[in-house]
């Protein structure tokens, strides 16, 4: 009678991070109903703050009492204590950010501030989406290929050009031999591609012909090609040894590039570190 069935640790989690750790630690070897609770909670932890026991239990398809037991196994005295943690943890991010956005939009459609609000929002969504969907394996592979290369050739035109130029800048700062193919003077510097070099190609729909051609050309010559594009079905994927897709949210005809730049920066800095 004195020992608890499951290690209901003495102290409850003090933060959402601790909560997640304990959830992960405890979630194996748990009876069926309790495991249902754990799974549902893991997938919907954001709703703890705004739901009742009954609602969550219904969602997890268990009786309320099972959920209560689950709370206790997690180390809380009960559901209320657990909910308190999530209600208080909810403060960061937007103390009044969303209010502010609303205000900005009130300038009226087309006003500079309303546009700004839209682009800020698009950027934020893109970044969140990137964090959720990025292909870690492809990213690691891209870093590997570029780190092993002689010179990195960066190519991107039109809306991809700002990204390409920033990459070139960062590579230079990190002393990585890099060359920006910018099409100035209608020269393609195709013959600058030498064995052992790598190409980092960036293009979004509608894909620019020059970029695709250069990527294919490099591949035919046996160079490593890394593609940065918007869809896995992009024609760039055919030429690339590693393809990374960036889910960028557009507003109107233009994209914020936030996610693309974040990804490009990570890539460049990782390559720069790896080459030292």
Partner DNA sequence: ACGATTTTGGAACAAATATTCCATAGCACG
Partner DNA sequence: CGTGCTATGGAATATTTGTTCCAAAATCGT
Q: Torsion over CA of 25, 27, 30 and 34, rounded to 10 degrees? A: 130
Residue from 12, 26, 60, 69 touching DNA (CB under 7 A): that is: 69
Q: Is the dihedral of CA 112, 114, 117, 119 positive or negative?
A: negative
Cα first-last separation, the chain = 61
Three-class DSSP category at 238: helix
According to CB under 8 A, which residues from 55 to 114 bind a second copy? 87, 90-102, 104, 107, 110-113
Beta carbons within 10 angstroms of residue 91's beta carbon: 8
- Which partner from the list DNA, a second copy, none does 72 bind, CB cut-off 5 to 8 Å by kind? DNA
Distance in angstroms (rounded) separating the CA atoms of residues 160 and 129: 19
Residue from 8, 49, 53, 265 touching DNA (CB under 7 A): that is: 53
Smallest separation (angstroms) from a second copy to the CB of 263:
7
Residue from 14, 131, 148, 232 touching a second copy (CB under 8 A): that is: 131
- Which partner from the list a second copy, DNA, none does 66 bind, CB cut-off 5 to 8 Å by kind? DNA
Q: Which residues contact 63 (CB under 8 A, 6 or more apart)?
A: 57
Using rule CB under 8 A, residue 148 touches a second copy: no
Q: With CB under 7 A as the contact rule, which of the stretches 30-38, 133-141, 210-218, 248-256 interacts with DNA?
A: 30-38
Using rule CB under 7 A, residue 59 touches DNA: no
């Amino acid at each position: 009678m004195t020992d608890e069935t499951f290690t209901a640790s003495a102290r409850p989690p003090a933060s959402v991070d601790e909560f997640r750790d304990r959830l992960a630690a405890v979630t194996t070897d748990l009876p069926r109903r309790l495991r249902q609770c754990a799974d549902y909670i893991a997938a919907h932890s954001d709703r703890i703050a705004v739901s009742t026991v009954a609602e969550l239990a219904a969602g997890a398809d268990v009786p309320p009492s099972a959920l209560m037991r689950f709370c206790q196994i997690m180390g809380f005295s009960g559901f209320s204590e657990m909910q308190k943690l999530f209600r208080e943890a909810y403060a960061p991010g937007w103390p009044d950010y969303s209010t502010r956005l609303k205000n900005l939009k009130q300038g009226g459609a087309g006003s500079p501030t309303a546009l700004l609000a839209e682009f800020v929002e698009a950027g934020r969504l893109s970044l969140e989406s990137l964090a959720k969907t990025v292909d870690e394996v492809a990213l690691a592979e891209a870093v590997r290929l570029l780190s092993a290369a002689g010179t990195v050739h960066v190519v991107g035109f039109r809306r991809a050009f700002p990204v390409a130029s920033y990459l070139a800048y960062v590579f230079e700062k990190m002393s990585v031999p890099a060359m920006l193919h910018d099409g100035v003077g209608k020269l393609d510097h195709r013959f600058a591609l030498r064995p052992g070099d790598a190409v980092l190609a960036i293009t979004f729909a509608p894909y620019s012909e020059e970029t695709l051609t250069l990527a294919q050309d490099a591949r035919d010559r046996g160079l490593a090609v890394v593609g940065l594009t918007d869809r896995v079905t992009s024609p760039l994927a055919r030429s690339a040894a590693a393809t990374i897709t960036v889910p960028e949210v557009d507003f109107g005809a233009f994209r914020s590039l936030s996610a693309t730049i974040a990804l490009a920066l990570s890539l460049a800095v990782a390559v720069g570190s790896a080459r030292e």
